Structures are given as structure tokens and as C-alpha cells.
Amino acid sequence: MERYFQPEIECAPREEMIKLQNEKLVKQVQHVWDNVPYYRKKMEAKGLTPADIKTIDDLHKLPFLCKDDLREAYPYGLMGKPLKDCVRIQSTSGTTGKRVVAFYTQHDIDLWEDCCARAITAAGGTNESVCQVSYGYGLFTGGPGLNGGSHKVGCLTVPTSSGNTDRQIMFIMDLQATILCCTPSYAAYLGERMKEMGFGPDDIPLKAGIFGAEAWSEEMRRDIEKTLGIKAYDIYGLTELSGPGVSFECSAQQGMHVNEDHFIPEIIDPVTGEVLPEGQQGELVFTSLDKEAFPLLRYRTRDICTLTREKCPCGRTHVRMGKPKGRTDDMLIIRGVNVFPSQIETVLINHGYAANYQIVVDRVNNTDTLDVQVEMTPEMFTDNVGEIQARQKALVEGLRSMLGLTARVTLVAPKTIARSEGKAVRVVDKRKI
């Protein structure tokens, strides 16, 4: 039983990791200075040269990169290697503005797949596992990343990609898949469909799920674990830094270990840009230490979370990030109150609903309105108006105590809110139109 667990790196004492990061950072800054004129100019504007960056303690001196820089430099302006050395691109969905295109050398792909292999191993994957990859394949990094990791671990890889739910279920059952990789919202949908088909948790061969690419609550985790009879592991990443596997959960399920030999995380105050002490919530920033073709330094992810170095029972020493609460650009400001969709999800699931909901924000007579449409589960479905009203009232109360805001809640019949095969669209903000 060969496992892709690398204790010499993943459990390395902190001093050793710092030494490794110092060496890699110095090299990476030089690489960027020599090969990425766009970033070199940013360094020059701050009066910096590579000689100013000697250890990770100097990291804070470096300028940030943000999504707007990526758009400005699109498509080739941030490349650290000539095209002849690059073998792949991946891209974000680009729902707002220009797409982000990230480049990879073969070395970058190997490194990325190593990170995904660690994640699969941490979820119990071995060469005896049957790993169904139901993330989309193509420009999206989910499918290719987990596919590569699954190969490295030696799992039998089932590259179903997303969609065609009944076929997904057929493969899970016929091939006795033990690991499922997809977005948490798609996992919830697969669970719902399997339940309808009469499969209970004991009939389903899956043991673990590796779910990420979107924010999901602890409550949603418990729901999915119960329906599918699995342990559900979170995985995080973004295209700009390679894709899934920047961090991943171990069996302790107490945050995601960042692959610190490849990425240095920082938490900053999103307004001032100042680095915040461990444990404080803020915007996550990453510096990639090994990437050749798209070597981003201090990239602002816009994801809001915390970092902790508290000892993890699994023995890994890599810093853990909490579940991203949302994104600085997802955070809704409704009547002056900061609201993350994940807070709404928590209230809904605590009241017995599944994560099938849509949040609609609008502005009527200069006042923001918050509408939450929630599907009733088949078990609670009723056409008794009094009962529906009582349920709606309970949710309004629950939301008020979580958010300090009054929302309008509408309960809708099961299966009326569109299901997602990839990342779910939870929020419609009509105020921007």
C-alpha cells in the first residue's frame, strides 16, 4: 500500500520549513525580477531590488498583486518563462471582466499534481481507491488537478467530469467508487438524487469526498456526510496559484493545511494592506515559491479567512486556514450590514433545510431589500398555508439573530431552485444592474 504522504515535508519542524522557504523565496524573487518586467516595475516603484528580500520576514516589503493586475497584464504580461517552455494553460470562468489565464511548465504541473496527491492521501486515498473526479475538466482546474493527483496516488481514476448525474451515480455504484471529488453543491445534489433512487448511506460505496471550489458551511458538510455515508474533506485553491491543492483538510477536519513548501500564506487587513497577527480574520494573500511560468508574489485572493499554527492531531505541521467565510467581493453590504452568503446558509441548514437556496438583493425606494428563497425538503413539503407561514417566520427570526437584519423569506416547493453541477450561483444582486 503506497501512500503519497510526505512526512519529511508535511511534518517538518517549523525551523526547517522557514529555512526552506527563505531559500526558495530569495530564488523566486530573483526569477520574477529577471523575467517579469511587470512586477519588476512594481518593485522598482517601491525602491526595492532582490537584495532587499533575504528571508520571509522581508516578504511584507514586496508589493501586492491583485486581480486587476492580472487583467491588465492579460494574457502574457506576468509570464516567468518563454512560451516554448510552457505546456498548458488553465483559466477561471471569467464571469466578471476578463478571464484570468494561468500558465504552466511541466514542472508546474508536477508540483500542482503533487499537492492534489497529498490531498487525496490525506482523505485516505491509496492505490486501492477508486476515485471519481466529477469536477469539470477543461479550462477549470478542478478536473485536471484532481485527475493528476489521483494518478500520482495510483487510484483507479474515473474521469466523469461534471454533469449527467444519473451516469455519475451508475459509475459510483457499478465501479464501487470510494472517493468522490466535486463541488460541495454538486455532492449535495448527487446525494439528493441517490436518496430518491432509494440508495441509503449503507448502500453507497463511497468512503470520502474531496469537496471545494466554493464556500460551504460545516452544517452542509454534516448533511452531505450523512446522506452519502462518507467523510467529507475540504480542499482549497485558485487558478492563479495552480488550482486545487493549495491547501487541504486532513482527517482532523480542523482547517486546511497549506502546502507551505510551495506557497506562503499571509492574512492582511483588506483595507490597509497591513499583515495581521495569527488568528485574526482578514484577506488571504499567497506567494508562490516554486512556480516557474506564472510566479505570483503576494497575490491577493480576496478570500476572507484565518490562519492557525495550533498543533494538529494528524502530525502535519503546515499552517491551517479556516474555511473561507466568503470573498471580499462576495460580501454583501445590505443596509450597511456586512453579510456573507455562508451565514445565511448556516441558518437555513440549522433549521433543517438543505443548501438549496437563492439570495436576491435589490434596492427599493433607496432601501436595500434581502430576499431569501429556500426550498422545502420533500419531508417538510406541505401546502398548508399556516404551516408554511410559521416556518417562514422562524427563518426570518433565525436570520435576524444571525445577521441583525430583517429578510423576506419565501419557502418554495422542492426542486424549484436550479441545481448546479459546478459552482453554485447563490446570490443575485440586482442593485448592480
Say how far apart CA 133 and CA 142 lie, in whole Å.
Answer: 9
Minimum CB–partner distance for residue 46 and ligand DLL (Å): 26
Say how far apart CA 142 and CA 135 lie, in whole Å.
Answer: 5
Say how far apart CA 157 and CA 179 lie, in whole Å.
Answer: 10
Side chain identity, residue 61:
K
209 is a site residue for ligand DLL (CB under 6 A): no
108 is a site residue for ligand DLL (CB under 6 A): no
342 is a site residue for ligand DLL (CB under 6 A): no
Say how far apart CA 134 and CA 149 lie, in whole Å.
Answer: 14
Binders of ligand DLL: how many residues, by CB under 6 A?
21
Minimum CB–partner distance for residue 233 and ligand DLL (Å): 10
The alpha-carbon radius of gyration of the chain (Å, integer) is 22
Judged by CB under 6 A, which stretch of 231-239, 269-277, 332-340, 348-356 contacts ligand DLL? 231-239
x/- binding map, residues 63-102, to ligand DLL, per CB under 6 A? -----------------------------x----------
Say if CB 252 and CB 316 are below 8 A apart. no
> Which one, of 244, 284, 254, 246, lies nearest residue 268 by Cα?
284
Grid coordinates representing 424 are 453554485
* Full DSSP string of 317-338: -S-EEPPP-EETTT-EEETTEE
Minimum CB–partner distance for residue 385 and ligand DLL (Å): 38
Judged by CB under 6 A, which stretch of 64-72, 232-240, 287-295, 344-352 contacts ligand DLL? 232-240
The single residue among 149, 191, 237, 422 that binds ligand DLL, judged by CB under 6 A, is: 237
239 is a site residue for ligand DLL (CB under 6 A): yes
Helices (H) and strands (E) in the chain, counts: 11, 21
255 is a site residue for ligand DLL (CB under 6 A): no
Say how far apart CA 263 and CA 103 lie, in whole Å.
Answer: 17
Say how far apart CA 366 and CA 336 lie, in whole Å.
Answer: 12
The residue (of 129 and 342) whose beta carbon lies closer to ligand DLL is 342
The single residue among 105, 121, 141, 259 that binds ligand DLL, judged by CB under 6 A, is: 141
Minimum CB–partner distance for residue 284 and ligand DLL (Å): 8
Judged by CB under 6 A, which stretch of 77-85, 103-111, 135-143, 409-417 contacts ligand DLL? 135-143
332 is a site residue for ligand DLL (CB under 6 A): no
x/- binding map, residues 403-432, to ligand DLL, per CB under 6 A? ------------------------------
Q: Which positions from 280 through 319 interact with ligand DLL, judged by CB under 6 A?
A: 301, 303
Q: How many CB atoms lie within 10 A of CB 371?
A: 15
* Full DSSP string of 270-320: TTT-PBPPTT--EEEEEEESS-SSS--SSEEEEEEE-EE-SPPTT---S-E
Cis peptide before 75 (omega within 30 of 0): yes
Judged by CB under 6 A, which stretch of 24-32, 67-75, 213-221, 289-297 contacts ligand DLL? 213-221
Say if CB 17 and CB 257 are below 8 A apart. no
Minimum CB–partner distance for residue 241 and ligand DLL (Å): 9
Minimum CB–partner distance for residue 304 and ligand DLL (Å): 9
Q: Under DSSP, is residue 372 helix (H, G, I), strand (E, B) or coil?
A: strand
The single residue among 40, 98, 193, 327 that binds ligand DLL, judged by CB under 6 A, is: 327
The residue (of 199 and 299) whose beta carbon lies closer to ligand DLL is 299
The single residue among 149, 212, 282, 295 that binds ligand DLL, judged by CB under 6 A, is: 212
Which residues of the shown chain bind ligand DLL in the complex (CB under 6 A)? 92, 135, 141-142, 212-215, 234-239, 243-244, 301, 303, 323-324, 327
